[in-house]
Amino acid sequence: MRVVIASCSVDYSGRLNAHLPLATRLLMVKADGSVLVHSDGGSYKPLNWMSPPCRLDVAEPSEEEAATGVDAVWTVQHTKNDDRLVVRIHEVLADHSVDLGVDPGLVKDGVEAHLQKLLAEQIDILGPGHQLMRREYPTAIGPVDILARDEDGTAVAVEIKRRGEIDGVEQLTRYLELLNRDPLLAPVRGVFAAQEIKPQARVLAGDRGIRCVVLDYDAMRGIDDVDSRLF
């Protein structure tokens, strides 16, 4: 890993063209040759970058470039396509190299999969008398998150999202269309379950006869913990 702080201008060409005027920025060169151009703000996304696999070449500036104060020209060329990043370095304020080694990596916990597991275990959140048929019920266009039966024995297809938005309702609609063609299952009701459901999604779901259920993740996790302690 090499970190350079320098005044520079940057040009990217590839899927689009983009230009950064001359200013002082942080340049990060990773071991795989990828380059990140960061300013002192924004978010974690760099102003400009080149993803691996790519190759960094450092060259002398042309006379023309040198006349405008360019000290070096970095060309970062993607190995598999025409994406190219050109960094024209004017003044270098700092230049550090360090060997970081391979990172042991991130350990994550608690996403949509967890919601699905918890809801499968606590299926009566959908209403008393509900029975789980199975998780990840396979269909031709992909698996339905949860398939259950309500107290009357009617099949219920559940789509789970962390944030319920309009495309989640569309997805569930496609599943319902398909499932309702199966005479062994039909009629199948739809339930859209999420920690948070956007108003537009709620309206669309209502319009299609799909029930919305807001999931309380902390409460579900709490019950899960209590259950776990019983064993």
Partner DNA sequence: GCCTAGATTTCGATA
Partner DNA sequence: TATCGAAGTCTAGGC
- Residues 34-53 binding DNA (CB under 7 A) are 42-45, 48-51
What is the spatial distance between Cα 35 and Cα 27, in angstroms, rounded to a whole number?
7
Question: Which range, of 125-133, 157-165, 182-190, 222-230, touches DNA by CB under 7 A?
Answer: 157-165
- Three-state SS at 9: strand
**Does residue 100 interact with DNA by CB under 7 A?**
no
Among 22, 28, 86, 166, binds DNA (CB under 7 A): 166
For the CB of residue 69, give the shortest distance to DNA in the complex, in Å.
23
Smallest gap from Cβ 16 to its own copies, in A, equals 4
**C-alpha span between 87 and 40 (Å, rounded):** 18
- In whole angstroms, give the CA distance from residue 131 to residue 34: 51
Which of 77, 97, 94, 98 shows the shortest CA–CA distance to 24? 94
Stretch of 40-48, 67-75, 128-136, 148-156 lying at the interface with its own copies (CB under 8 A): 40-48
- Residues in region 132-171 near its own copies by CB under 8 A: 167, 170
2: closest CA among 112, 117, 104, 89?
Answer: 89
Check residue 34 for interaction with its own copies (CB under 8 A). yes
Edge-to-edge strands of the sheet including 155-164?
131-137, 144-149, 155-164, 188-197, 211-214
Number of residues that bind its own copies (CB under 8 A): 52
The closest of 67, 16, 64, 58 to 35, measured between CA atoms, is 58
Taking CB under 8 A as the rule, does residue 187 contact its own copies? Answer: no
Question: In this chain, which stretch among 86-94, 96-104, 118-126, 158-166 interacts with DNA, using CB under 7 A?
Answer: 158-166
Counting contacts by CB under 7 A, is residue 137 touching DNA? Answer: no
In degrees, to the nearest 5, what angle opens at C-alpha 133 toward C-alphas 130 and 134?
125
The residues binding DNA (CB under 7 A) are 12, 14-16, 18, 42-45, 48-51, 78, 83, 85, 106, 108, 111-112, 138, 141-142, 161-162, 165-166, 168, 171, 198-201
